Amino acid sequence: MKRDVLYRVVLIAGLLVVSLVALAPSVPGVGGALPQWWGGLLGNRGIRLGLDLQGGSHLLFTVDLDKAVEIHLDRKIGEIRRELRDAKVGAIGVERDGLALQLTLPNPERRGEVIEILGDRFPSLVVESGALGSGPTIRMTLDPREIQQLHEYALDQSLETIRNRIDEFGVAEPSIQRQGRQEILVQLPGIQEPERAKALIGRTAVLEFRFLADTSGGYGPDNPAPGTEVMSGVEVDGTTGQTRRIRHLVESEVRMTGDTIADARMQLFDQLEGPTVQLTLNGDGARRFDELTGANVGRRLAIILDGTVYSAPVIQERIPGGRAQITGGFDIKEARDLAIVLRAGALPAPVTLIEERTVGPALGRDSIQQGLLSFLVGGSAVAVFVLIYYRMAGVLAVSALALNIIYLLAALSGFGATLTLPGLAGIVLTLGMASDANVLIIERIREELRLGKTPRAAIETGYDRAWAAIFDSNLTTFLSGVILFQFGSGPVKGFAVTLCVGIVTSLFTAVFATRTVYEYRLAGRRLDHISV
Amino acid sequence: MAQSSTSGSGAAQPPLRFFEIIPDGTTIDFVGLRRYSLGISGLLILAALALWVIRGGPNYGVDFVGGTMLHLRFQPEVGTPQIRSLLADAGYRDVQLQDLGGAENEFLLRLPTAPGNENVAKEVTEALQGSLGPDAFEIRRSEMVGPQVGKDLRRKAILAVVASTIMMGLYLTVRFQLRFGIGAAVALAHDVAITLGGLLLFNYEFDLPVVAALLTVIGFSVNDTVIVSDRIRENLRKMRRQSLESVANASINETLSRTVITTGTAIFVILALFILGGSVIHGFAFTLLIGFVVGTYSSIFVATPIVLMFRDTERR
């Protein structure tokens, strides 16, 4: 009996020491004074504050996966045309129709032959109506496994690109992760310019080089020739520096894209044109750019970013060395951000912001203060009440609550949990639950004493009888915490975590620890009176 | 509150003196009051339903319908009419403007997000800055929820509330008996309905933290039901000769002291959160406040009477 109690005391005290070691780095004023090795003792990361307490942005983007498939199919069109041209099966029209490719044959007799070539060269494409169909059109879709792979690639690549952009932008401890089927969650603590970050992340940044279409022969933006399209563009006035929107007629064929960019830098070049973005292409890109410009001297090369023509300079001469520049009347911030996104690479598919929660740093500070204040006021009032109402047993209950707070915070810091505002509320509620357990026990002991039992018997039956109710009531609350965790996002999850962890620690402190104290006092002694 | 003294039945012991709010031996005929209590509960639920219909559903926050929310703190001289007219001038007519009250001059602006334009928040703040000057207000918080996300969250919230109600009922069925499970589930549905009524009545916004609070209310209320049920189960074994009514009555009375103290202290803590916790947590604390009161009431006045309805079928 005595030995059993000793083990219990050692366990409680040991946990207290471990908890204090774990918590010390998170205590303001103490954390900084600790030696370096302290934090490594338990390998815990300390309690982090949620975005709602320290300020920051929670951004949820959805990746347009259909668009990724469309882009892939568009690339296939050129390859298919080339293959069929080489196979000399006649002039075949290839177009994309939604998520399918449609081929139009001039002579349907060669249908089987065309399907054979396609099946040979493009195993990822599936003929929709089967090889046995007839007629002048063939519809093809991508193999579902290929689509799955494209989706995965688009998500991974988007994540990587967004991470690169944020790293370049400079945010301390960002968190970028996939969520659900096609979403990417970006969390930026303490960010000062959320609007700028949003624009930076959300930009697709697809850079294309195409030629302006020939506008002789009556063609123009109002009357586009086949194989050309109308795009809007910006034009900088040479004398005032003002920008205005204009329309361009450009060829549909993309000559080069931004995937060969090795570096992009903002440069202040011309006072009037404002800052520009200087592009340096990699070896392959430089060679292709050299060929492209060499073969097309005199034509206007449009530099297109996300569907807008930024400039369309006349190629004066062959351009070796792989250097190009983008102008477009940017201000310094715009040019710097553009350089960042071009350097970090294009997104494989457009992303759309579908949820944003931004908390300013001032509100975060206020929330912490208000949370602490209400915690102190509520907590100390309850403590005073319990002390008066239950006397010595009350002292024990309040000590158990204090122990509970220490254990709970240490456990949270051990998990590297994030403390949110609802999380603080969860702690407050846990303390309510813990004090309920003590109230149940003490009330039960009182009842047993009223029945005339000795203090020892009353304590034993009190704890035993109260346990069933305490266990059931805590388990139900634990269950609602689990449901809350499943359902919730961000702050609500924080609430669920503190609630569930708190239930475990409060069962330990309110039942196990307080009982140990009684056992200690009862061990080998006769107790005539207890103060409850 | 009175200091009462009660002598224990054991003659050998010195008289026991406890500090008690609910004196020992309190016998209130709770069960006998059930005709009135169920009537009151029914009326309250009807009132909540009526409010729901009159208001055309709850005042959903952007979490559940999508849209943009801005929490701004203005310089003291800027008032509601001025903000409203500035927004109207800038072309934002369907803005909901809510004065958060309190010591600071803070407002919530809620705007529907037009499809394809996720940047309403930026436009509105720029418009306000344009007329009031760049330092006229501080952006404390901004939220944007897309319509699809809102729909998803709403579906999940309803699912979570329904699932936890059913799960609690199942748990009590397994741990106790079917009648306790049914009693608990009905009591929980009752709590959710009346708490929603309270939110509607005081025009609180219905958002994610409120749902978190509702789930907590469910956990707390079932807590109370478990305590009473546990005592009924125990007393059923001890008091085999007695009618179920008197067993239930005795059980409620025996646990009454605990019920009052626990609910009292919990409500005190929540009151502190409600008054001192700041505007962000207001709706959350309010929901807990109403829910805990109703939840405690329902354990005694709704769950137990329902258990009694099954007396003949399951009396051992």
Q: How many CB atoms are located within 10 Å of the residue A243 CB? A: 14
Coil, helix or strand at residue B61: coil
Q: Which of A421, A443, A483 lies nearest to residue B281, judging by beta carbons?
A: A421
Non-local CB neighbours of B62 within 8 Å, separated by 6+ positions: B68, B69, B110, B143, B144, B145, B150, B207
Interface test with A, best of B230, B236, B237, B282 (most A CBs within 10 A): B230
The reply to whether residue A354 touches residue B148, judged by beta carbons under 8 angstroms, is yes
DSSP-assigned states of every residue in A88-146: T----EEEEETTEEEEE-SSGGGHHHHHHHHHHH-TTEEETT-TT--SSEEEEEE-HHH
Closest residue in A to B144 (Cα) is: A356
Instruction: Report the pLDDT averaged over residues A464-477.
Output: 89
| Bridge pairing between strands A48-49 and A418-419 | parallel
The contacts of residue A280 (CB under 8 Å, 6+ apart) are A261, A262, A263, A264, A265, A322, A323
Q: Measured between CA atoms, how close is A63 to chain B, in angstroms?
A: 14
- Name the closest residue on chain B to residue A368, using Cα atoms: B277
Distance between CA atoms of residues B67 and A278, nearest Å:
39
Q: Under an 8 A CB cutoff, do A363 and B118 touch?
A: no
Q: Where are the alpha helices (DSSP H) in A319-454?
A: 332-344, 361-414, 421-450
State chain A's mean pLDDT as an integer: 85
Helices B120-132/B80-89 angle, 10° precision: 110
| Placement of tokens 């139009």 in the chain | A104
Q: HSE on the CB side for B61, CA within 13 Å?
A: 24
Residues of B in contact with A401 (CB under 8 A): none
Task: Render pLDDT for A109-119 as a digit per residue (tens, 0 to 9).
Answer: 778 888 888 88
Q: Give the pLDDT confidence of A244-294 residue by residue, as tens digits.
A: 888 999 988 888 888 888 899 988 866 666 788 889 999 999 999 999 999
Residues of chain A neighbouring B227 (CB-CB closer than 8 A):
440, 469, 473
Residues 6+ apart with CB under 8 A from B169: B181, B182, B184, B185, B188
H helices then E strands: how many in chain A? 14, 19
Nearest to A374 among B149, B168, B276 (CB): B276
Reduce the DSSP state of residue B24 to 3 states and report it. coil
Q: What are phi and psi of A437, to 5 degrees?
A: -60, -45
For residue B219, give the nearest of A382, A477, A486 by CB distance: A477
- Domains, chain A, ordered by start: 2-50+360-522 (1.20.1640.10), 65-144 (3.30.70), 203-357 (3.30.1360.200)
**Percent over 90 (pLDDT), chain A:** 29
Q: How far apart are CA A26 and CA A14, in angstroms?
A: 20
Higher pLDDT, A532 or A18: A18
Question: Which of B262, B312, B250, B258 is CA-nearest to residue B292?
Answer: B262
Mean pLDDT confidence for A184-188: 93
Chain A partners within 8 Å of B265 (Cβ): 382, 385-386, 432, 435, 439
Contact B97, B80 (CB under 8 A): yes
pLDDT digits (tens, 9 = 90+) for A351-408: 999 999 999 888 888 888 888 898 889 888 888 999 999 988 999 999 999 999 999 9
Q: What is the pLDDT of residues A8-18, one digit of tens each?
A: 899 999 999 98
pLDDT value for A42: 63
Q: CA B153, CA B145: separation in Å to the nearest integer?
A: 10
Cβ neighbours around A159 below 10 Å, total: 18
Section A123-142 average pLDDT? 76
Instruction: Specify whether the CB–CB gap between A72 and A199 falls below 8 A.
Output: no
Kindly provide the residue ranges of all beta strands, DSSP E only, lying in A146-227, ordered along the sequence.
175-179, 183-189, 207-211
By Cβ distance, the residue of B8, B175, B234 closest to A452 is B8
Indicate the burial class of B43 (C-beta count within 10 angstroms; 0-12, 13-18, 19 or more): exposed
Query: Beta strands A308-311 and A228-236: pairing type?
Result: parallel
Residue of B nearest to A364 (CA): B140
Q: How many CB atoms lie within 10 A of CB A418?
A: 23
What pLDDT does A40 receive?
A: 62
- Nearest Cβ partner of B268 from A367, A381, A491? A381
Helices (H) and strands (E) in chain B, counts: 11, 6
> What is the pLDDT, as a whole number, of residue A332?
84
In which region does residue B107 sit, left (phi positive, over 0), alpha (psi from -120 to 50) or beta (all else)?
beta
Cα–Cα distance for residue pair B88/A523, rounded to 1 Å: 77
The pLDDT assigned to B8 comes to 40
Separation between Cα atoms, residue A151 and residue A168, nearest integer Å: 26
Q: Do B8 and A450 touch (CB under 8 A)?
A: yes
Q: Give which of A375, A373, A505, A522 is closest to A457, Cα–Cα.
A: A522
Domains of chain B are 28-60+150-314 (1.20.1640.10), 67-145 (3.30.70.2040)
In A, minimum Cα distance to B209 occurs at A492
Query: A524: left (phi > 0), else alpha (psi -120 to 50), else beta?
Result: left
- The C-alpha of B23 sits at a distance from chain A's nearest C-alpha, in angstroms, of 11
Q: For chain A, what's the residue count?
A: 532
Q: Taking Cα atoms as reference points, which of B16, B47, B50, B314 lies closest to residue B182? A: B314
When pLDDT is cut at 50, 70 and 90, the band that residue A490 belongs to is low
CA–CA dist A377, B29 (Å, integer): 36
Region A309-320 average pLDDT: 88
Q: Say if the Cβ atoms of B258 and A373 lie within 8 Å.
A: no
The pLDDT value recorded for residue B287 is: 95
Q: How many CB pairs under 8 A join A and B?
A: 215
Beta-bridged to residue B90, according to DSSP, are: none
- B248's tokens: 């239930």
**Residue B184, C-beta contacts closer than 8 angstroms, at least 6 positions apart:** B168, B169, B172, B222, B225, B226, B229, B303
Question: What are the pLDDT tens digits along chain B (316 aa)?
Answer: 344 444 444 444 456 678 888 888 788 888 888 889 999 999 999 999 999 999 988 888 888 988 999 999 988 888 888 888 888 888 887 888 888 877 788 898 988 876 656 678 888 888 888 888 888 888 899 999 988 888 888 888 888 889 889 989 999 999 899 999 999 999 999 999 999 999 999 989 898 889 888 988 998 899 889 999 999 989 988 888 888 889 999 999 999 999 999 899 888 888 988 998 888 888 989 999 999 999 999 999 999 999 988 865 544 4
Q: Quote the crossing angle between the two packed helices B208-238 and A455-487, to the nearest 10°.
A: 150
Band of residue A215 on the pLDDT scale cut at 50, 70, 90: confident
Closest CA in chain B for residue A385: B265
Q: Name chain A contacts of B141, Cβ cutoff 8 Å.
A: 357-360, 363
Model confidence pLDDT, tens digit, residues A77-131 = 878 888 888 887 777 788 888 888 888 887 777 788 888 888 888 888 888 765 5
Indicate which of B22, B276, B284 best probes the interface with A, i.e. most A CBs within 10 Å of its own CB: B276
ipTM of model? 0.82
Which residues in chain A are contacts of B275 at CB distance < 8 A? 374
